[in-house]
């Protein structure tokens, strides 16, 4: 949020994630409910292929989250939307949507612009 004086910037306080269950090795037990989103799989980082990471993003193969939204086909009903990152021919592909309506995108950083 930008303040009233030019050049001043104020920010909202950070929201903290509550304590969450972990396994014997300290990894989160999945699926993990994080507010309105559920983290299903953290995925695996493909460190030896630059297509899967850059200075702004990391695309872990197998990463998956779900969230309930109004259905794209019937706004009076809810649908569970899933976001997954896959390895397709050595490049990350994001599939996002519900079983009735989904997007596949070859440039993962643009998926939010499509949705």
How do the pLDDT tens digits run along the chain, 115 residues long?
445 556 566 677 777 767 889 999 998 899 999 888 999 999 999 999 999 998 888 999 999 999 998 888 888 999 999 999 999 999 998 888 887 777 777 666 555 444 3
Two tokens at 30?
Answer: 């999945």
- Give pLDDT, residue 20: 87
Q: Are 13 and 7 in contact (CB under 8 A)?
A: no
Domain 32-114 falls under CATH 3.40.50.11540: no
Using alpha carbons, select from 114, 113, 82, 76 the residue that is nearest to residue 100: 82
User: What is the C-alpha separation between 78 and 99, in angstroms, rounded?
Assistant: 12
- Residue 104: the pLDDT is 77
Residue 75 burial class via C-beta count within 10 angstroms: exposed 0-12, middle 13-18, buried 19 and up: exposed
What pLDDT, on the 0 to 100 scale, is given for residue 101? 73
- The DSSP code for 99 is T
pLDDT of residue 1: 47
Contact 88, 61 (CB under 8 A): no
């Amino acid at each position: 949020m930008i303040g009233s004086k030019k050049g001043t910037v104020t920010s909202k306080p950070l929201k903290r994630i509550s304590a969450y269950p972990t396994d014997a090795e300290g990894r989160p037990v999945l699926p993990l409910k994080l507010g309105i989103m559920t983290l299903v799989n953290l995925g695996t980082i493909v460190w030896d292929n630059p297509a899967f990471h850059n200075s702004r993003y990391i695309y872990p193969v197998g990463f998956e989250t779900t969230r309930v939204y109004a259905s794209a086909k019937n706004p009076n009903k809810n649908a569970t939307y899933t976001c997954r990152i896959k390895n397709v021919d050595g490049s990350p592909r994001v599939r996002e949507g519900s079983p009735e309506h989904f997007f596949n995108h070859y440039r993962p950083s643009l998926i939010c612009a499509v949705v």
